[in-house]
């Protein structure tokens, strides 16, 4: 379903009393996302944005390491996601009227990972994008600025070889992850050509660095996400529901700012 139809059908489903696990990106902007969550609350159903990697054991382990102080205080995050667009002729990802472009299609993943680590939206962003004749960004790079002085860097593309990776730098070390949707025990069982189920931890000083690779359980993030959504519906954990909603609203506002910055060619504020 094109990105432009997410809000319309999510709201219709909510009005019909259906819980909604919505494909990313949730919406094209903050106001649209707010209207979707308003419809969910008014009809007493659960709405959640689907980012399968969030429920991978790899991502769970990453969060545990960060919360446990494994790399000290987080100072910066670099996240990228790029791929070669299959069958570009007539592809909705190249149609601006259907919410196409690398920021909405791939950048939302990198932004989601950054938001998961930083825990809040940036205060401002600056984006540099490459445009194609259809009017969408085929690739983009951005810097995100936070109120506490931290920064994050995001890159996304639909014209490169597949790559998906994040590096989290802290005061006492770094942590690297592929934040993959799907992980497997055998290279031939996944499309990546390597095993994206490992976390790479680096700690120490310039003169004494310790490296550690942590291999996590494998599986389909889509299954993990569906199971987590069903559990959320069953338990109605309001704190968790609101936490996820806040993250989606932050991301919607940030994506809107990233796109605005790309069009204007200047740094812009994120209006949450």
**Mean pLDDT, residues 115-140 taken together:** 98
Rg of the chain on CA atoms, in Å? 18
> Domain-by-domain residue ranges, the chain?
52-224+248-269
Q: Could you tell me the pTM of the whole model?
A: 0.94
Find, among 172, 179, 165, the residue nearest to 78 by Cα. Answer: 165
What is the reported pLDDT for 198? Answer: 86
Half-sphere exposure of 35 (CA within 13 A, CB side): 13
* Residue whose token pair is 């949450």: 272
Enter the CATH code of domain 52-224+248-269.
Answer: 3.30.360.10
Angle, nearest 10°, between helix axes 30-42 and 238-264?
Answer: 160
pLDDT per residue over 251-264, tens digit each?
Answer: 999 999 999 999 99
Half-sphere exposure of 166 (CA within 13 A, CB side): 27
Whether residue 81 has pLDDT greater than 90: yes
For residue 50, CA distances in Å to 129, 198, 223 come to 25, 22, 11
> Alpha-carbon dihedral of residues 135, 112, 246, 3, nearest 10 degrees?
30
| Structural contact between residues 78 and 110, judged by C-beta atoms closer than 8 angstroms | no
Confidence of residue 10 (pLDDT cuts 50, 70, 90): very high
What is the reported pLDDT for 67? Answer: 98
Q: Which two tokens stand for residue 56?
A: 């991978």
**Mean pLDDT, residues 239-261 taken together:** 96
For the chain, what percent of residues have pLDDT higher than 70?
A: 95
Confidence of residue 193 (pLDDT cuts 50, 70, 90): low
């Amino acid at each position: 379903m094109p990105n432009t139809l997410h809000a319309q059908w999510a709201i219709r489903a909510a009005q019909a009393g259906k819980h909604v696990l919505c494909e990313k990106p949730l919406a094209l902007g903050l106001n649209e996302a707010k209207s979707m969550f308003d419809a969910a609350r008014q009809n007493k159903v659960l709405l959640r944005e689907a980012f399968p990697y969030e429920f991978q054991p790899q991502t769970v382990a990453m969060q545990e390491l960060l919360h446990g102080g494994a790399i000290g205080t987080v100072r910066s995050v670099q996240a990228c996601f790029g791929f070669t667009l299959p069958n570009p002729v007539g592809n909705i990802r190249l149609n601006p009227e259907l919410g196409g472009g690398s920021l909405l299609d791939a950048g939302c993943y990198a932004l989601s990972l950054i938001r998961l680590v930083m825990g809040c939206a940036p205060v401002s962003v600056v984006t540099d994008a490459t445009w194609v004749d259809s009017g969408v960004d085929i690739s983009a790079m951005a810097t995100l600025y936070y109120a506490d002085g931290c920064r994050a860097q995001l890159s996304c593309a639909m014209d490169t070889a597949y790559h998906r990776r994040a590096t989290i730098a802290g005061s006492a070390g770094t942590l690297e992850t592929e934040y993959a949707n799907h992980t497997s025990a055998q290279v031939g069982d996944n499309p990546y050509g390597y095993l994206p189920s490992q976390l790479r931890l680096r700690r120490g000083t310039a003169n004494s660095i310790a490296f550690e690779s942590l291999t996590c359980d494998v599986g389909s993030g889509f299954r993990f996400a569906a199971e987590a959504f069903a559990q959320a519906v069953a338990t109605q954990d309001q704190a968790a529901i609101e936490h996820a909603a806040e993250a989606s609203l932050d991301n919607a506002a940030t994506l809107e700012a990233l796109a605005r910055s790309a069009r204007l060619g200047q740094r812009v504020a994120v209006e949450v």
